[in-house]
Chains A and B, each alone.
Chain A
Amino acid sequence: MEATRRTIRLVVNGKPRSIEVAAHETLLAALKERLYLTGAKEGCGVGECGACTVLLDGRAVNACLVLAVEADGRELGTIEGEARPDGSLSALQRAFIDHAALQCGFCTPGMVLSARALLRRNPRPSREEIVEAIAGNLCRCTGYEPVIDAIAAAAEEEAAEGSVVPPAASAGAGEGRGP
């Protein structure tokens, strides 16, 4: 089973990285095994739960459904890059804590990044738009209402602040490339 390997170059949370991956390797596996970023979680491995959501060129994707080689030359944002440049929590992260929008925490990184992708393309989302944006992120603990409240509160705060977007997420913004 000699796997074909390739070197890919990508920008991870604002920093250029070069890694060697197997052709069949998922982006989720590469995150964990090559980049040592374990924030993205695997809840199903087949794109049904959203726990592995990351930002690829600013858009929310399921890292279990994307091959690592597809990330070549692109911008990757993970939960580890969500905090502000000074290391303090982003408004979104703060709001998740303030609203108790997490319990076991396993879906939380994916949930936060789906929310981040939403706020990047739509800084003032309606409640319905928030629900739509996280409809692909399953959570068994919170009952979603605190999550929706947290995202709505963070949107308001970020809009008031004049959109503080973390560097990882801001890179590649607006290019409109999908996965």
Chain B
Amino acid sequence: MTSRANDRELRWVGRPVPRIDGEAKVRGCATYVHDMAWPGMLFARIKTSPHASARIVRVDTGEAEQVPGVRAVLVGADLPYKVGLYMIDKSILARDVVRYCGEAVAAVAAETELAAEEACERIRIEYEPLPAVLDPVAALAPDAPLVHPGLAEYGRMKGVFFPRPGTNVAHHQKIRKGDLLAGFRAADRTFEHAFSNPPVQHAFLETHTAIVQALPDGRVEIVSSAQSPYTVRQLFSVCFGIPLSRIHVRVPYVGGGFGGKAGIHLEPLVYCLSRKADGRPVKLTISREEAFHTMPSRQGLRSRIRTGVRNDGRITALEVEYLWDAGAYADYGVNVGRAAAYSGAGPYDIPNCHIDSLVVYTNKTFGTAYRGFGHLEVLWGIERNLDLIARELALDPYAIRIGNCLRAGSTTITGEEVTANPGRPDLCLEAAAKAVGWGEPRSGPAPGGTRRRGRGLALLHKAPAMPVFTSCSAILKFNEDASVDLLVSGVDYGQGTYTALAQIAAEELGLPVDRIHVVWECDTDFTPYDWQTVASRFAFMGGNAVIDAARDCLAQLRAVAAQVLHAPESELVCADGKVSVVHNPGSSLDYRRLVMGYTYPNGNSIGGPVIGRGRYIAQGLTHLDPETGQGRPALDWTYGAHAVELEVDTATGDIEILHLASAFDVGKTLNRQQVVTQIIGGVVQGIGSAVSEEFLFDAQGRFRNAGFVDYKIPTAKDIPRRMSQHIVETPQLDGPYGARGVAEHPMISIPGAIGNALADALGIDFFELPLNPERVYLAIKKAGRKKTTDEHR
């Protein structure tokens, strides 16, 4: 939505406004669910499965129920419910069978956490182990054990997801564009490469936690560390058949989400515990170990990419198979497989393209949304693939990208025509490459040492992955002193969106930003509808809703002021907290005299409290054709690029990043500091995916590294020597002030850029993540042995 305010100099949008949540957080008085206790509250713990696949033969809770202080014990057999957002495939507690090691099989609520813990230990469960399927390739074999034999009966979002009953395929997303065979015939060379990514964890610092109370009159009180209060309410209602108006969901400060708190998680279980415990409120906080092996993660991926290329580097055909290691439940993972398919060729103009993206059930920790929603995974392969091809064709990796990237006039692989205004991947690549001195002679490291230097590039793109009908709303409510409460139900769990929304409201209303109070707690009883806080769509959609609400307020102010000032509404200007007559600024009214209604000297009063209502619904999206994937899935595309210069120590396999330059076309910078810090944070998170993070399973499918000691996320010691951020601004015509989202994007393509730089430094190609010292060192040794053998021949 463009704004009238574009006509004049912006006072708040694009200005350096500090985070509005800063003070509460540095004083330690931002209250998270973790910090909360309700009167009479019980504490819950869960018992998890030690097997990846097993039949539950016998359950004995007798001893557990005798533990002093225990008020409720539940097992799967007690809970005949299924829950899910896209594919309703998960029970609240495992029933009859367990499908992954770490799956919750029983839960206890007790007066103390210790008593709940002890009772969990005393629940006896007899299992009959069943064959487990631990990798998506094995899961596709005709004789593979079925993770969900009842797949055909599951409810799902129809017409969008296509499971294959009788197999382990939860969803098959097809993209068919052009004539693939003709494309390969037009190619001078054909290449085929395979890549893989392991599953990884969000590792937000606040683990999942919820307090729920089942009230005697049937109402349900929920406070949850969740990204999407309305979606929690909706899915909860569907699960239990409770009307929406009887369910009250609150979300206070949230300690990180990154997609892992989207959808619904603990709330149904905690509700059932409360119901069993005679309506006492119950709190369940997931332990860090459970955060790894019980709660969902980013699913693993295997990619196979076949590319037809002309000798000048132009891609003529692309055939891709993505196999997603969805784990035991694909509720959310099906949409990762869908979204990553419709962007699955990268930000490139591919005339002939086939993609088959299969979301495959396995007996492992299950997948969900994680920052980038499949794009980090697919672009690892796409961006490495381009460098491998460039080397074979003796082309510069920069040139092959520029030669193929999307530009005005191109069509995407779903048939969407690229117009002049949606963002410029070429400018992003140029800015990032220039920052690391791409094409210039290299300096260092000192010759003779064990360190080798290399440079790498990678492009990226992503659009919000969301239903075609995604909508949101905002309310701006004036207070008596002409300050404003801003109410939305998108959650700011760290992205800084509320600060940006406050800036937009201040700009539109003509008030200082400190007069805008963003109500921090989202509350389905008070704050207006928003679908989910995911997909980097909140600043875009929420921003447009706030603009709409602000204009509603101004119309109300002008209507009353026009009567008082005896001027037509069209000649009234709202600025600096006043409504003034445009050609006679002396004739004006302070907002304070209007926002609760205006009172004439004789006492007559007109108007009334000013409350603005705003809304926004995604524009112009279409369903994708089930056979070809053609359609318009994307609200807006954010493009970006990373360039890396690194050194690798051949004696240890250690990588040190000297400079990591990132560029994004954000359309319009709403707040430069927020954009820059969002980029830095995403880049470092991407470095974790690139060089250290992976789930380890043993041969039986048991999780081996469920904790921060064995699963390494970046620490302050692991950041690049230098990071630089470069902002491109090609306005998004329907974005707030021209802005588009940039929350997930900084993480995407970090592995590709690092992998390409590593290949440049070592002359060794890596196809699997992470690029940890062990993998790099062993590859160097192997290459050395091969070289020695070759020399001896």
Contact = CB atoms under 8 A, between A and B. Distances in A.
Contacts of B253: 104-105
A78 B709 contact: no
Interface residues of A, number: 54
Contacts of B682: 143
Interface stretch (A68-76, A144-152, A159-167, A168-176): A144-152
B288 A48 contact: yes
Contacts of A23: none
Contact of B205 (A93, A98, A107, A136): A107
A45 B205 contact: no
B716 A135 contact: yes
B205 A139 contact: yes
Interface of A: 1, 32-33, 37-46, 48-49, 51, 78-80, 82-83, 89, 93, 96-98, 100, 102-109, 112, 130-132, 134-148
Contact of A143 (B21, B203, B685, B709): B685
B717 to A, nearest CB: 5
B255 A104 contact: yes
B26 A108 contact: yes
13 contacts: A1-B69, A41-B206, A44-B288, A100-B676, A102-B22, A103-B256, A105-B21, A140-B681, A143-B680, A144-B714, A144-B715, A144-B719, A146-B680
Interface of B: 18-19, 21-32, 34-35, 37, 68-69, 114-115, 118, 202-207, 253-258, 287-288, 493-496, 673-674, 676-677, 680-685, 707-709, 713-717, 719, 723
B28 A140 contact: no
A32 B709 CA distance: 26
A97 B709 CA distance: 30
Contacts of B676: 100
Contacts of B257: 104
A58 B32 CA distance: 26
A134 B714 CA distance: 12
Given A44-B708, A104-B255, A141 B494 contact: yes
A104 B254 contact: yes
Given A41-B255, A49-B205, A131-B717, A103 B28 contact: no
Q: Chain A contact residues: over half helix, strand or loop, or mixed?
A: loop
A68 to B, nearest CB: 15
A100 B674 contact: yes
A51 B22 CA distance: 17
Best-surrounded residue of A32, A83, A97 (most CB of chain B within 10 A): A97
Contact of B203 (A1, A32, A89, A140): A140
A143 B35 contact: no
A105 to B, nearest CB: 3
Contacts of B674: 100
Q: Identify the 5 closest CB pairs spanning chains A and B, nearest first.
A: A39-B28, A106-B255, A104-B494, A105-B25, A79-B28
Q: Which of B204, B716, B719 has the most CB of A within 10 A?
A: B716
B123 to A, nearest CB: 18
- Pick from B27, B709, B714 the residue with the most CB of A within 10 Å: B27
A143 to B, nearest CB: 3
Nearest to B723: A145
B680 A103 contact: no
Nearest to A108: B25
A134 B718 CA distance: 12
A104 B719 CA distance: 19
Nearest to B708: A48
A69 to B, nearest CB: 17
B723 A49 contact: no
A40 B717 CA distance: 23
Contacts of A147: 716
Given A43-B288, A49-B205, A98-B18, A142 B26 contact: no
Contacts, number: 173
Contacts of B684: 142-145
Nearest to B204: A140
Nearest to A105: B25
A45 to B, nearest CB: 7
B206 A138 contact: no
A154 B32 CA distance: 27
A108 B257 CA distance: 16
B792 to A, nearest CB: 45
B708 A100 contact: no
B495 A140 contact: no
Given A80-B27, A143-B719, 6 more contacts: A38-B31, A41-B34, A44-B707, A100-B22, A104-B205, A139-B716
Given A140-B713, A145-B680, A89 B23 contact: yes
B494 A96 contact: no
A103 B205 contact: no
A45 B708 CA distance: 11
B288 A93 contact: no
Contacts of B716: 130-131, 134-135, 137, 139, 144, 147-148
B409 to A, nearest CB: 37
Contacts of B35: 32, 38, 41
B288 A105 contact: no
Contacts of A80: 27-29
Nearest to B673: A100
B478 to A, nearest CB: 27
Contacts of A39: 27-29
B683 A103 contact: no
Nearest to A90: B26
B713 A100 contact: no
Nearest to B30: A105
B708 A93 contact: no
B538 to A, nearest CB: 14
A93 B27 contact: yes
Contacts of A100: 18-19, 22, 496, 673-674, 676-677
A130 B203 CA distance: 23
Contact of A1 (B27, B68, B673): B68
Contacts of B680: 142-143, 145-146
B254 A112 contact: no
Contacts of B34: 41-42, 106
Given A45-B288, A103-B496, A144-B684, A97 B23 contact: yes
A69 B26 CA distance: 28
A145 B721 CA distance: 10
A97 B19 contact: yes
A43 B495 CA distance: 19
Contacts of A83: 27
B238 to A, nearest CB: 29
A105 B494 contact: yes
B725 to A, nearest CB: 10
A142 B677 contact: yes
Contacts of B719: 143-145
A96 B24 CA distance: 12
A108 B23 CA distance: 11
B713 A104 contact: no
Contacts of A32: 35
B495 A45 contact: no
Contacts of B19: 97, 100, 102
Given A1-B68, A32-B35, A44-B288, A138 B25 contact: no
B255 A105 contact: yes
Nearest to B26: A93
B26 A78 contact: no
A131 B203 CA distance: 21
Contacts of A43: 205-207, 255, 288
A31 to B, nearest CB: 11
Contacts of B25: 96, 102, 105, 108
A41 B254 CA distance: 12
